Structure 1
Amino acid sequence: MTRYLISFNDGAMDHIPAEDLPEVGKDAHAVIQEAVNAGVFVAGAGLQRQRASIVGPDGLVVDGPYPETKEVIGGFVVLDLASKEEALSWAAKIARACRSAQEVRELMDDPEMDAMLRETARRE
């Protein structure tokens, strides 16, 4: 299985009238529940608008994002899926529910991190 990040940009849902937002939330939660029931959900959340802190390699903290940043992530879900085609299918469901386009990216495989997580889970 491969993990996929499905995300949308901050502001992508700004076209939705305020009175429609409860229905959008209901539809989005229904898709997430479907992913949970299918056993493919890993994580997901909406992100607070423009509330980021940037920590540099030297430890310097700057409230951000960087001024030159044109797009920032507004929300995301990580799913563990068998194929890119399956990821695109889930992204289509999420796009319909959120009434906004979704970006699909494959997460890099990291066997060492997976082993650390399995070991941590085993100890708990």
Structure 2
Amino acid sequence: MKTPAGKECPYFYGNYFRGRKQEECRLIGNQPSPYHWGSDLCKTCSVPEIVLANACPHMQLQAKVQSFLFGLIRRVKVLAYCEKSHSIVEEPQIGCGQCHPFPPFIPKE
């Protein structure tokens, strides 16, 4: 479903039937204030780009809201975990490197 920022995200849910405006992020869930989700966080969230770049079925995403500068700036921090290699994924857009290895003709950096 499209987020208020215009990106396609599988974790965003919006119910607009008959004038309702119920929106939620099913990845973050219901957290107490100041770590609660708001539609303003969709503008800077990296989850839609991660899902678009890497569709590995073994990668599990976790997200939480972090606040900076005494709560004036809020951002979504995304953590990725690979169930196949049992490790934290450092680059979620690329993956862990074990599920989808590079072909032998592409050099690793």
- TM-score tier (shorter): under 0.3
Q: Could you state the TM-score of these two structures normalised by the residue count of structure 1?
A: 0.23
In terms of fraction of residues, the more helix-rich structure is 1
